Amino acid sequence: MMEKEKIEKLLEDVKAGNISVSAALGNLRNLPYEDIGFAKLDMHRSLRSGFPEVVFCQGKTTEQIAAILTRLALNHDKIIATRATAEVADAITSRIADATYYPAARLLIVDKTGARKAPPAGDEKYILVLTGGTADIPVAEEAAITAETMGSAVERSYDVGVAGLHRLLAQRDKIMRANVLVVVAGMEGALPSIVGGLVSRPVIAVPTSIGYGANFGGLSALLAMLNSCATGVTVVNIDNGFGAGYFAHLVNR
Same structural domain for residues 131 and 71? no
CB neighbours of residue 2 within 10 Å? 24
Number of structural domains found in the chain: 2
Same structural domain for residues 35 and 146? no
For residue 23, is it within any domain? Answer: no
For residue 63, is it within any domain? Answer: yes
Same structural domain for residues 164 and 48? no
CATH number of the domain bearing residue 170: 3.40.50.1970
Same structural domain for residues 241 and 144? yes
**Residue 171 near residue 157, CB atoms below 8 Å:** yes
Q: Which of helix, strand or coil describes residue 207?
A: strand
For residue 181, is it within any domain? Answer: yes
For residue 17, is it within any domain? Answer: no
Sequence-distant contacts of 246-249: CB under 8 A, at least 24 apart? 246/51, 246/54, 246/146, 246/147, 246/150, 247/204, 248/127, 248/143, 248/147, 248/152, 248/180, 248/182, 248/204, 249/127, 249/146, 249/147, 249/150, 249/151, 249/152
CB neighbours of residue 115 within 10 Å? 8
Same structural domain for residues 131 and 240? yes
Same structural domain for residues 230 and 140? yes
What is residue 31's predicted lDDT score, i.e. its pLDDT? 65
Same structural domain for residues 69 and 40? yes
Mean pLDDT, consecutive 10-residue stretches, the chain (253 aa), reads: 68 87 72 75 77 90 91 86 93 88 94 76 88 95 95 93 87 93 92 93 96 90 93 95 96 93
Same structural domain for residues 167 and 247? yes
What is residue 1's predicted lDDT score, i.e. its pLDDT? 42
Same structural domain for residues 34 and 86? yes
Residues present in the chain in total: 253
- The domain boundary, picked from 85, 111, 137, lies at 111
- Torsion angle, alpha carbons of 145, 215, 222, 249, to 10: -10
Give 61's contacts (C-beta < 8 A, 6+ positions apart): none
Give the DSSP letter of residue 163.
G
For residue 9, is it within any domain? Answer: no
Same structural domain for residues 187 and 107? no
Helix or strand run (H / E) with residue 235: strand 233-235
What is residue 252's predicted lDDT score, i.e. its pLDDT? 94
For residue 7, is it within any domain? Answer: no
Same structural domain for residues 102 and 73? yes
**Considering only CA atoms, which of 222, 220, 218, 200 is closest in space to residue 210?**
218
**Residue 78 near residue 110, CB atoms below 8 Å:** yes
For residue 13, is it within any domain? Answer: no
Q: How far apart are CA 160 and CA 57, in angstroms?
A: 31
For residue 215, is it within any domain? Answer: yes
Same structural domain for residues 95 and 198? no
What is residue 155's predicted lDDT score, i.e. its pLDDT? 94
Domain that holds residue 82: 30-111
Q: How far apart are CA 73 and CA 136, in angstroms?
A: 31
Question: b/e string for 97-106 if b means 16 or more Cβ within 10 A?
Answer: eebbbbeebb
